[in-house]
A and B are shown apart, each in its own frame.
Chain A
């Protein structure tokens, strides 16, 4: 595998389900990110991890819970979601969390909440 991979690519869940999204980067980067992309809206940053430490949480509801067990893996745990949470969830990584941080994205998980 190369670059940034995400699984699953598609997920349909009910509002009472618990599921997890997985991201893995094969680039040797130290920073990882979760974004939400809804139709007709710019990408919204959700969480930033640098060297496995969460450094930013952009007022994301607690029904989204990130986990970064090591610098290569990032998870987003989902529980009691709402239909408006349906979106494309993108993971990204960069060498460092810094100024000229070129971020590389995974293919995303298309989430539908029924």
Chain B
């Protein structure tokens, strides 16, 4: 079935560094969503992508919808301690309303 694979699984970086993470699938997706989850909270939607090749920014975050429709990338520039959390990619399975989630990338930022 459809699966989303995120890499890396975890990252430990210094404050101020840029971060890149990606999400890949063997299946085509028509929408890519990126969420961030803080400890003890629900995921918060960061960026939504709807077109292949689309590049969208939200503050220091930039996400891209891969041309093949089988991948997406999230970049965070000039990381700060509050960027700590788990970042999930997600995509809808056909028209069922079912979102498939990746396993998440855990980001830790050292001040």
The answer to the question of B28 belonging to the interface, with a C-beta cut-off of 8 Å to chain A, is no
User: A48, B97: Cβ atoms under 8 Å?
Assistant: yes
The answer to the question of B82 belonging to the interface, with a C-beta cut-off of 8 Å to chain A, is no
User: A102, B45: Cβ atoms under 8 Å?
Assistant: yes
Contact A56/B97 with A42-B102, A42-B103, A99-B31 known, Cβ cut-off 8 Å: yes
Q: Which of A41, A97, A105 contacts B44 (CB 8 A)?
A: A105
User: A102, B33: Cβ atoms under 8 Å?
Assistant: yes
Q: How far is the CA of A101 from the CA of B45 in the complex (A)?
A: 12
| A108 proximity list for chain B (CB < 8 A) | 40-42
Contact with A along B29-73 (1 / 0, CB 8 A): 011010100001111110010100000000000000000000000
The main secondary structure of chain B at its interface with chain A is loop
Q: Which of B94, B95, B97 contacts A94 (CB 8 A)?
A: B97
| B48 proximity list for chain A (CB < 8 A) | 100, 102
User: B42, A107: Cβ atoms under 8 Å?
Assistant: yes
The answer to the question of B101 belonging to the interface, with a C-beta cut-off of 8 Å to chain A, is yes
Q: How far is the CA of A100 from the CA of B91 in the complex (A)?
A: 9
Among B40, B90, B97, residue most surrounded by chain A Cβ atoms (within 10 Å):
B97
Q: How far is the CA of A32 from the CA of B94 in the complex (A)?
A: 17
CB distance from A69 to the nearest CB of B (A): 20
User: B30, A99: Cβ atoms under 8 Å?
Assistant: yes
Q: Which of B35, B42, B94 contacts A106 (CB 8 A)?
A: B42
User: A103, B42: Cβ atoms under 8 Å?
Assistant: no
Which A residues form the contact surface with B (CB < 8 A)?
4, 6, 31, 33, 41-43, 45, 48, 50, 55-56, 90, 92, 94, 97-108, 110
Q: 21 A-B residue contacts at CB 8 Å?
A: A42-B101, A42-B102, A48-B98, A92-B42, A94-B97, A98-B92, A98-B95, A98-B97, A99-B92, A99-B94, A99-B95, A100-B31, A100-B50, A101-B92, A101-B97, A103-B45, A105-B42, A105-B44, A107-B41, A108-B42, A110-B40
